[in-house]
Structure 1
Amino acid sequence: MRVLPDTGPAPFVRALAGHGDRPAVITADGRLSYAELAERVDALAARLGPVRRLVLLAGANRVDELVAYLAALAGGHPLLLVPGDHDAAATELTRAYDPDVVIRRVDGEVVLDERRPGSRHELHPELALLLSTSGSTGSPKLVRLSSANLQANAEAIAEFLDIRDTDRAATTLPLHYCYGLSVVNSHLLRGAALILTGLSVTDRCFWELFRAEQGTSLAGVPYTFDLLDRVDFDRVPLPHLRHLTQAGGRLDPERVARYAALGRRRGWRFFVMYGQTEATARMAYLPPELAEHRPEAIGVPIPGGSFRLRPLPDRPEPDTGELVYAGPNVMLGYAERPSDLTLGRTLAELHTGDVARRGPDGLYEIVGRVADFAKIFGLRVDLRRVEEHLRQAGVEAYCVGTDRELVVAATGAHHPDRVRRLAAAAAGLPARVVRAHPLAELPRLVNGKPDLAAVRALAAPPAAATVPTGTGPEQLCRLYAELLDQPEVGPDQSFVDLGGDSLSYVEASIRLQELLGDLPADWHTVPIRDLARPVPDRPAPRRVLETGVALRALAIVVIVGSHIPLFTVKGGAHLLLAVAGFNFARFQLTAAPRQERIRAALRTVGRIVLPSVAWIAAAGAVTGDYTLTNVLLLNSVLGPHDGATEWQFWFIEALVYILLAAAALLAVPALDRLERRLPFGLPLALAALGLVTRYDLPGLTSHGHVPSAILVFWLFALGWAAARARATGQRVVVTAIALITVPGFFGQPLREAFIAAGFALLIWVPRLPSSRSVNRVAGLLASSSLYIYLIHWQVMPLVGPWSRGAALVVSLAVGVGCAALARLAARRLRASHRAQRARSVRSHALPPRAAQSWSFAPSLPFHSVSRAVRPARATARHGAHPAGRRGSP
């Protein structure tokens, strides 16, 4: 056994306590000062003991894992840092290196597993950290880093970024990834604070935390910037942001220039950086003031480092060659087996494998890879140049080569034949030796870099590539693409990211339950990657049906059945107003900017209004039953209020008016901010406001007709509040309000009990036991409820006199069929629009536009509708008010 060497830990680790009471770590749950952090680090280092041991840590962006990382360094224990969210990689590296101590999270708690009191390894005195070269694959090839490497790189980064002790950097990258780790080291070096979080930049909570804690620094790989574009980053107010950094792969020069210009306008600096794990993260940076004019460059060496260009026979151009880096942050060398841990330094400079050109201005630019060539049928092909040619043609792709073919993985609405022809032309190959694979999203490693191994797997013959049908990310991506008619679906996107609404939500939830079994309540906001489950030993899924879906399906059946009348069950429409409010909060009130929320609400209105107006106009032209105010959904405002068919569509009108009012509410910046700050309090206040008209405290009904939307708005607001009720006490409050205010609204106890019972189910029982066949039927009825309601008014008079039961069945069947036709027509229109847009883009030689919305504002469905009176002729006899207390069904 070997005691601690004299070299000791990196100085920035030893100096933690010297920063005193300054904040060191900020999380959503609280803060740790540097003194508190140092105390926790020292305590764990003492527990690890004075004997050097090989420690494996499953890293994560959490306080306990950060303390474990620093404690291993502080105690002089070489640390093998592995991803905490990929058990297979951790298991493989544990098997390969047999660590003496394993620190990992088990059932939510960090566990320190001391496998032996000493060490079975000979550990070089300078060895401090071991990082994988291959993301999360579990490859045994590791980079050996010393404390001096870590310190030198942290100092260089802190110098060129001008990190100050007042800075606060968000951990947007994993702890086990060298780039994410360098953010931690460089900020701790300067006594700055870390906003420690594992949230994605597409998550509203991330931006709430970052703004609340006055974050100054964000770091991202190219895929992070795809997400930032998706969330309309240029519209996100970040008054304290000082610098945005990018590394981990080449960012498109157009995007570099755009972000540099945005930073110049907004008062923050954009640093493009270049690095490799072998150089402890970073080797070069592009000064922000040059980024707009030289966006293709990687810049200049970091302080303390230097470059040279090794001549290449295949690249005779002047000032071009393999980029070779020297500096104090260059690794000791590689380890591929435990015996390599005893080695000291085995190289003095790093051959990067990148082909670079040095411009007249002294800036370096990467122009290729030494190893990014393939010999296909004897022809030498530059794979990265092929990718660049495809990108210029609007095709995002990764390429790999075998002896016999060029394999291209491409995304977007591009036909494989076109991709194959473009790639063949760029490579100088016949098209027959190019295989193009359309994918929902290009495969990436956990650090955001291209997963070329996954692309190479596509080169296997189809017969050898068969895998069992499962529920991995790829299968779920294909399912989401099918359900949402999206050409591009990635594993880091969620249902709401992809614009899913509650019509598609019904089918998606049922299809996913068939594959995965019980789903989490918030599955629609969970990334696809986190929903995926392994195939082996998966138990048969337990069939459940979401209560909201069940209520919608039940309601449309009882509404149509009551109108025939086959039976009489009243109150369905009013219950569904609460369901509509519940789903409005779930799907509309996302983390999107205010403008996108408004657009989403208006799109929802359009999805209700357009088919309703079209059908009512067509039916009115044939039957003569409807007036112009019916067609324009203005009957409850303009009347007439006493015709035989005037109130058939009161629920559609009420829902449309309420949604328009909600959009107007969100259009007020102060109210939009208030909703985000008080997600439960605002709808509760709106429900209280709605009760003023529910009890008619102003006496409005004595002055004439009152639109039904005004009388029933409180139910919508109460459903909204129910969706925002997270704690048990909040659910109790909403339930109590419903139980107090629903009775007496109609003066019909059974009807009021039906509404109250359904509301309580919605709040307290999110899912019901079910079966596959029930789920299928309920999904069809719930997702087709708008069309069923619209069409049943014309089916009833034709079939009802012959058989009331048949009238119900035919109404449901015809409505489901019309809904399917409408969805098919909408998909074809969208496909036609995408094709036309792609042709337009190609004709102008521009790349396709990136995803636009910041955050996934999905549309609210039509939550089944009910008319408030008996069938048409009965209305004239009874003269019942649709939404009031006087007997509407």
Structure 2
Amino acid sequence: MHRLVDLLRGHGENVAVLTETHRLTYAQLADRVAAAVPGIGDTRRLVLLETRNDMWTLVHYLAALTGEHVVLPVPAGRDHATMVQAYDPDVVVADGAVHHRRRASRHRLHPDLALLLSTSGSTGSPKLVRLSHTNLISNATAIAEYLNIRESDRAATTLPMSYCYGLSVVHSHLLRGAALILTDRSVMDEQFWDLFRRCRGTSFAGVPYTFELLERIGFDTMDLPTLRYVTQAGGRMAPERVTRFAELAQRRGWELFVMYGATEATARMAYLPPDLALSRPTAIGRPIPGGSLTLEPLEDWADDDVGQLVYRGDNVMMGYARGPDDLSLGKTVDTLHTGDIARRAPDGLYEVIGRTSRFVKIYGLRIDLQQLESSLRAGGITTFCTSDDGHLVVAAARRHDASAVQRAVTEATGVPACSVRAVAVDELPLLPSGKPDYPTVRRLARGAGHSTVTDLRELFAGVLQKDPAGIDPEATFVDLGGNSLSYVAMSVRLERMLGHLPTDWHQRPLRELETMARPVTGRRRWWASTLETSVALRAIAIVLIVGSHAGLFELWGGAHVLLGVAGYNFGRFCMTSVPRTERVRHLRSTIAWIAVPSVAWVAVVMLLDDDYTWTNLLLANKILGPHDSMTAGRLWFVEVLVWTLVALLLLFWLPGLDRLERQRPFAVAVAFLVVGLALRYDVLGLGLGREAWFTMLAFWFFAIGWAAAKASTTLQRAAVTAVLAVALHGYFGSTLREAMVLGGLVLLIWLPTLRCPVGLTTVAGVLAEASLYTYLVHYQVYELFPRHPMLGVIASLAVGVLLTYLLTLLRSRFSSPKGTFGRQSASRSRQNVDLGAG
């Protein structure tokens, strides 16, 4: 039972795991695993494990194996009702907790069975691959041997642990005492590469789509001095792309391993040595150590060097499981008929040239086209399904809407909608023999000029008031012109669709988000919603602001929390990797989206009463006065925010400062924080006293948020937290107020997202989305209810929400695809910055 723990402990003080916040040696990892074993149970059971690339998942996966349980890994953030219903696991490890469904297993589990993996993640079938301890060890040993994994290696987890490829990286590195850099960040995320460099990463793995992303982000120019090798599997990569990356590897001093495998072989069956990647980019290479490949003759093939590829080795699965009764079976498979048609070259290398059965592999998912047709037919859609140029191609009969067909295929397979070409036909095309005419299906799909969109693309179009057909799947939310208001709306709606909202979703291309999108079937768990902390703080703060001003209660500090949130989102969304001119344009647009409605509201109020003066109209009342008016400070938050952004726009227009920030983002943020603290402690001797709370001297709250956004290590976050705590001490002269501000901003620094009930997420999203307009109008609204502060607060919030809705509707009318404003301003001029609502 404890052999695995002993193996880990045998690597001693070698670094085992690195994350953004933790560093564990093998001895420490062994201790954590041993401590987690009793929590899973001492009776051998079937354990369903929700996986993320994090410490919790790794420890509990290893603990389950140590306890000799049978592990069924599934990706986190999805609905696993079908799998739970089909296999009835005894234990579910999810949401940071171990849920015991029963104390003893109701299953008969074969003694050799260790792991169950999905065959394809494709058509909703519960068919699983049964893998033994021998399978896992033999494949990890072979991989470690041909990759020459060393104790000094550090591999980043670019693939999910629920996927055999991602899990093989974990197994092979732990076997050799090497380190894992655990992260769920995308290779598109600049912070992934920051972590990779900081941890001195030596390798990472990718499917073909990963390499498409690498080309888009300028991987060929990246400085990665410790990179030793890169592996590719999960489907055939275009030979020309293999050549490009092999040439890049040769120039930059690292190696490219192109590999071939299947879940049924635990992971790997063949590999192409790096020295052959340039000369033989079409080949899958040679068998892995301990394995062998042969060709089985095929009918209608005259070439003796061509046949069905058959693999033998200790890593070949025990067999398939189609239900819980199969978990008691021993090994039923000795050889693996891959279904691939391959050619063996004179030099012994194999090249796959086709398929014997109707399987395709897209985005690392193996799709059974026959089962897909059956699945769609069961849903009332009669189709012929094939593939063409890396896409699923589907022809549907009886006048089905192509968009609906595409969504059905996406739901059934899990591939992104941009990889599905659907066409509606009156009758499905047949060959004279009566068999499906798949070449005609491909021609029809090409001729249709596929333009269907998914629910996700329609969501982006609806929130951003854009034409769905004009949305580029390679664009991010930032690229598509998201603004401060649409960011909140999108984050809440997107979480409902994805089930789990990645912290960097705004920087991921739509195409990548589509790969995560899954329909939520069945009954969602009431606690399973994710809410961004910045959104939650905006909602809470606006309620506190309105309630305190209306006299319902006195809980001050909401506006200062919002100033910190504004700085946090400035760091996240304005200080991105886009060119300097784009940064400036985005900042200018952000200022307009805050200032224009603020000035417009002041103008309206000035027509009705004398609350505001011409200095309010300039958003400069705190600068120009008059300072003795009862309403002088009402808009101080908007004024401070707008003029802070104006100053930063002018500063970052300077090429030198822009360049420095890109090189040292945290250091630059800290430098501005130092300036803010100098103002906070009145180094200049201005002697403003209490008035400093509500002037530009409160800039240090903004700077704290900015520094928090750029803090990428535990030490940096701890330093920002310490500075916050010290600077807040005695600032307001109110312990409660200081504690509230401290609590809110500490949450922002350490906890980017919160788990909360779905209904609460919706309410928070609505309030946060309306927070700017609520802040502007609440002074005039709650005064209408002088004796009923509760009504005043409710009315203020309701008016803010209603005004937000009406203005969004108005913008939608003017930004339709036919309008000039929609084509130019709404689509290109706004930056996704969650700053505007106060």
- Mapping for residues 678-717 of structure 1, pairs under 5 Å: 681-688=670-677, 714-716=697-699
| SS of residue paired to 1:162 | coil
How far 1:137 sits from its partner (Å)? 7.5
RMSD: 6.8
Corresponding residue for residue 26 of structure 1: 18
Equivalent AA in structure 2 for residue 301 of structure 1: P
Say whether 1:660 aligns with 2:650.
yes
Pair 582,659 (structure 1): closer, same or farther in 2 beyond 3 Å = farther
C-alpha contact (below 8 Å) 2:40/2:91 kept by paired residues:
no
Equivalent AA in structure 2 for residue 603 of structure 1: H
- Mapping for residues 790-805 of structure 1, pairs under 5 Å: none
C-alpha contact (below 8 Å) 1:25/1:32 kept by paired residues:
yes
Corresponding residue for residue 142 of structure 2: 156
How far 1:275 sits from its partner (Å)? 0.9
How far 1:173 sits from its partner (Å)? 2.4
C-alpha contact (below 8 Å) 1:82/1:90 kept by paired residues:
no
Corresponding residue for residue 810 of structure 1: none
How far 1:859 sits from its partner (Å)? 4.7
Say whether 1:427 aligns with 2:413.
no
How far 1:479 sits from its partner (Å)? 1.8
How far 1:150 sits from its partner (Å)? 1.9
Corresponding residue for residue 104 of structure 2: 116
| SS of residue paired to 1:249 | coil
Pair 426,344 (structure 1): closer, same or farther in 2 beyond 3 Å = closer
- Mapping for residues 19-98 of structure 1, pairs under 5 Å: 19-38=11-30, 41=33, 53-60=44-51, 61-63=53-55, 65-74=57-66, 77=68, 79-83=70-74, 85=76, 88-89=79-80, 92-93=83-84, 96=87
Partner Cα separation in structure 2 for residue 775 and residue 689 of structure 1: 36
| SS of residue paired to 1:346 | coil
**Identity of matched residues, %:** 39
Partner Cα separation in structure 1 for residue 305 and residue 191 of structure 2: 48
Pair 46,484 (structure 1): closer, same or farther in 2 beyond 3 Å = closer
Corresponding residue for residue 481 of structure 1: 461
- Mapping for residues 464-613 of structure 1, pairs under 5 Å: 474=455, 478-484=458-464, 500-505=482-487, 508=490, 536=523, 582-589=565-572, 594=577, 596=579, 599-605=582-588
Equivalent AA in structure 2 for residue 336 of structure 1: R
C-alpha contact (below 8 Å) 1:24/1:37 kept by paired residues:
yes
C-alpha contact (below 8 Å) 1:83/1:176 kept by paired residues:
yes
Corresponding residue for residue 707 of structure 1: none
Pair 427,213 (structure 1): closer, same or farther in 2 beyond 3 Å = same
Say whether 1:387 aligns with 2:361.
no
Deviations 1:454-486 (A, max 9, x none): xxxxxxxxxxxxxxxxxxxx4x55323322367
Partner Cα separation in structure 1 for residue 7 and residue 131 of structure 2: 20
How far 1:602 sits from its partner (Å)? 3.7
How far 1:496 sits from its partner (Å)? 5.6
How far 1:577 sits from its partner (Å)? 12
How far 1:665 sits from its partner (Å)? 8.2
Corresponding residue for residue 205 of structure 2: 219
TM-score, normalisation: structure 2: 0.64
- Mapping for residues 710-859 of structure 1, pairs under 5 Å: 714-716=697-699, 718-722=701-705, 739=732, 782=772, 828=817, 858-859=832-833
Pair 771,418 (structure 1): closer, same or farther in 2 beyond 3 Å = closer
How far 1:284 sits from its partner (Å)? 1.7
How far 1:519 sits from its partner (Å)? 11
| SS of residue paired to 1:478 | helix
Equivalent AA in structure 2 for residue 660 of structure 1: L
| SS of residue paired to 1:323 | strand
C-alpha contact (below 8 Å) 2:243/2:277 kept by paired residues:
yes
Deviations 1:423-447 (A, max 9, x none): 9998225849999975656xxxxxx
Corresponding residue for residue 665 of structure 2: 675
C-alpha contact (below 8 Å) 2:724/2:742 kept by paired residues:
no
How far 1:20 sits from its partner (Å)? 2.5
Equivalent AA in structure 2 for residue 387 of structure 1: D
Partner Cα separation in structure 2 for residue 399 and residue 317 of structure 1: 30
| SS of residue paired to 2:388 | helix
Unaligned runs of 5+ in 2: 360-368, 374-382, 411-415, 430-436, 546-557, 600-617, 621-637, 688-693, 709-716, 749-753, 778-801
C-alpha contact (below 8 Å) 2:5/2:66 kept by paired residues:
yes
C-alpha contact (below 8 Å) 1:144/1:331 kept by paired residues:
yes
Corresponding residue for residue 356 of structure 2: 370
Partner Cα separation in structure 2 for residue 737 and residue 661 of structure 1: 31
Pair 229,821 (structure 1): closer, same or farther in 2 beyond 3 Å = farther
How far 1:323 sits from its partner (Å)? 2.0
Equivalent AA in structure 2 for residue 427 of structure 1: P
C-alpha contact (below 8 Å) 1:149/1:328 kept by paired residues:
yes
Equivalent AA in structure 1 for residue 76 of structure 2: D
Corresponding residue for residue 306 of structure 1: 292
C-alpha contact (below 8 Å) 1:355/1:366 kept by paired residues:
yes
C-alpha contact (below 8 Å) 1:597/1:857 kept by paired residues:
no
Deviations 1:515-535 (A, max 9, x none): 999999999789796999777
Partner Cα separation in structure 2 for residue 722 and residue 504 of structure 1: 21
If you compute each CA radius of gyration, which structure gives the higher value, 1 or 2? 1
| SS of residue paired to 1:589 | helix
Deviations 1:736-777 (A, max 9, x none): 69759xxxxxxxxxxxxxx9999999969999x999999989
Pair 440,189 (structure 1): closer, same or farther in 2 beyond 3 Å = farther
TM-score, normalisation: structure 1: 0.61
How far 1:687 sits from its partner (Å)? 1.2
C-alpha contact (below 8 Å) 1:123/1:341 kept by paired residues:
yes
Corresponding residue for residue 265 of structure 1: 251
Corresponding residue for residue 398 of structure 1: 392
Partner Cα separation in structure 1 for residue 503 and residue 42 of structure 2: 47
Pair 301,178 (structure 1): closer, same or farther in 2 beyond 3 Å = same
Deviations 1:371-394 (A, max 9, x none): 228799xxxx9966x421xx6xxx
Q: How many residues align?
A: 715
Deviations 1:808-848 (A, max 9, x none): xxxxx9999999887777674698799xx9xxxxxxxxxxx
How far 1:166 sits from its partner (Å)? 0.7
